[in-house]
Amino acid sequence: MNILVTGGAGYIGSHTCVALLEAGYSVLIADNLCNSKRETVEKIMNIANNEVTFFEIDVTDSEAVDLIFKSNKIDGVIHFAGLKAVGESVGKPLKYYFNNIVSTMILANACQKYDVHKFVFSSSATVYGDNKVPFVETMHLLPTTNPYGETKAMSERILTDIVNANPAFSVSLLRYFNPVGAHESGLIGEAPNGIPNNLMPYVTQVAKGKLEKLRVFGNDYPTVDGTGVRDYIHVVDLAEGHVAALENITEGVHIYNLGTGKGTSVLELLKAFEEANGIEVPYEIVERRPGDIASCYADASKAKRELGWTASRDIIAMCRDAWRFEKNYKE
């Protein structure tokens, strides 16, 4: 089967491409490289010892997307491509609404046109808004606290409406939590352009001396130590969850949380990183970041029950693998 992976050169996309190749799929990548690098594609092929087909395009470009579908037999789509910084989305909402929603509509339209019936969507736990944790797939979605989350919720509704109009179209909505870590080879991992928006690459860059100290956004949340609590999941576990979703997809819309089911605070993650790697990471407490909530973690029992998938790598492995990648990584 030929799987088109949009955003496949990015952090989660690249690990999923490796998992797909190792599972015997043929992979086509579409990525505009706005937050990724071309050499990541070479590293994917190196790890998996297999070839991929790469298209440097923006998936908001309908003509470029149409040409891929027209020129290749596509059996399924995994859609990662999108802007993902919560804080930035608050300041630049139009940029996020255009990029994230238009790309989903263009890809879905191409699937309809070329009879592609399998669509796995990279959603987010952000769609739950300020619901009570743990988040369960059956929850009514509350308004999110940021435009990024709204783009994910809107894309979910768009894809659901398409399935209602065309029952042969099969969609898996994967609401995942906070991916961290890296491939055990140390070749691919999280390497954002500029100052990181996510916690783990910020921690690793401070540990490496690229940044002076970690900024912890708020210590007055109603949590175990006042810092934000998140469900951190190893990116390889997350990638394997996408393969499981693809292999088990059936007609209709199916929603799955991909997380560990365990909340970890910012300071707890920092302590785990120091323990795993024997490195002290200086930090300072700063004001809360716009759009953040206090706690976010999953009930992942449905994915275990229906997909046979569970997250198996612990927080120490996440920290150890993230640091291995950072040590190996060269700008």
Catalytic positions are 148
Give the count of beta carbons closer than 10 Å to the beta carbon of residue 295.
Answer: 19
Give the pair of three-digit tokens for residue 24.
Answer: 């015997």
Instruction: Report the interhelical angle of 199-208 vs 266-277 (nearest 10°).
Output: 40
Q: DSSP letters of 294-323?
A: SEE-B--HHHHHHH-------HHHHHHHHH
The span from the CA of 193 to the CA of 136, in Å, is 33
Short-list 22, 151, 138, 133, CA closest to 86: 151
CA distance from start to end of the chain: 34
Query: What is the pairing mode between strands 26-30 and 2-6?
Result: parallel
- The two structure tokens encoding residue 164: 């209602």
